[in-house]
Structure 1
């Protein structure tokens, strides 16, 4: 399986990206309905963290089977991939208890399905190439990331994958250096009160999975790079 999945231009409809979902698929569907999402023509790209913390984690299978839904792998999704070797205590603290009580065959089925989720996605749009990873691309260019993910050394490749799923360096340092080779890179992972743009990197995890704290799902149109609700002009970020 390629760790970067490519999608050609959508000539029929719109392409959207959404932040972390964390088992709140009903709220996500409500956000799509408000945006007039057309399942016959539009596509939805997810920056990952499909499960844990929310009440509808098992609905993920139904969503992964939707032909218009395309996620990258988040660090919480990677727990599922490594369920038999990961640090189980840390996973449970961070919302993984839904998985523990499943029959062993179901657990393995989830792991097989999640291992097919790519680390990154690239989407051709009318205005240029858009990249998506869960947390960050720490390299100067998208092409360099793709080369590193194709590295022959499994240890090096694993390190790069983990960085794509876990890094918070860019937003913690307010790093506005762009990722070359992309019109925009879209990421989640960092829970924010509002979307943030640093260079050409769009951070869109506005905590749709924490509605009790005012969180909401941001939908970013990948063709126009306009968001619903709109992205504020100020670039300062406020952590959750």
Structure 2
């Protein structure tokens, strides 16, 4: 359900918004901050795939030793379709890239990626704690530990907090980074940071240093 990470004593930690197949935008963003894979870490708020041009390559990011993502709703849509479920929902939401690849190869890569895409992560940063989920955290961060099906769905799909512009801080955590809902620029509601700036449409992929989110 949740993976925890000790403080990075050798490099920096970054958090990236929804990548959505925009591999080149990610490469450019990492180049701008001189990201070093041997010592820096990249945390992602989910939705590595769909809509952008390089979803198959972006899915492989989950297998890199310096990359730590969470599961987004687009990974969930892909898993459902490739598992024999609803193809229509995935294709309508950007999954048509699968037609350009061997379906079994996509299924194998997705299965390997999902093992490394939990619903939540928690990172120690500058003596504080940063939580990461795709869509919406619970009111109390400790609830992630024992999330039932309803809460698990909210972590991946929820939009109630941002829809109501709720600034109530999530308790039990210093800050939380999420994506899922496109915003013109990063938005903070309480201690929740919304980082999805619609890279596949706007060409703007948000990459922030984790330290900046907890300060």
TM-score range (shorter-chain normalised) is over 0.9
Change (3 A) 1:105 1:144: same
1:46-125 alignment runs, 5 A limit: 46-83=44-81, 84-100=83-99, 102-116=101-115, 117-125=117-125
Aligned residues: 213
What's the TM-score, normalizing by structure 2? 0.92
- Specify the alignment match of 2:162 in structure 1: 171
Which deviates more from structure 2 when the two are superposed, residues 94-103 or residues 12-21?
94-103
CA-CA distance at 1:11 after TM superposition: 0.6
1:1-240 alignment runs, 5 A limit: 3-83=1-81, 84-100=83-99, 102-116=101-115, 117-137=117-137, 139-148=138-147, 157-211=148-202, 215-225=203-213
Q: What runs of 5+ residues in structure 1 fail to find an aligned partner?
A: 149-156, 228-240
Q: Is the 8 A contact 1:196 1:203 kept in 2?
A: yes
Larger fraction in helix = 2
CA-CA distance at 1:195 after TM superposition: 0.7
Structure with greater contact order relative to length (CA < 8 Å, sep ≥ 6): 2
Distance (whole Å) between structure 1 residues aligned to residue 37 and residue 46 of structure 2: 20
1:55-87 deviations in whole A, cap 9, x for unaligned? 101102442232111110000011222223442
Change (3 A) 1:195 1:61: closer
Q: What runs of 5+ residues in structure 2 fail to find an aligned partner?
A: none
Distance (whole Å) between structure 2 residues aligned to residue 135 and residue 169 of structure 1: 10
Runs of 4+ residues deviating >6 angstroms: none
1:97-141 deviations in whole A, cap 9, x for unaligned? 11245434224303422331101110011231100000011x221
Change (3 A) 1:159 1:86: farther
Which deviates more from structure 2 when the two are superposed, residues 105-114 or residues 37-46?
105-114
- Specify the alignment match of 1:235 in structure 2: none
CA-CA distance at 1:225 after TM superposition: 2.1
What's the TM-score, normalizing by structure 1? 0.83
Distance (whole Å) between structure 2 residues aligned to residue 88 and residue 108 of structure 1: 13
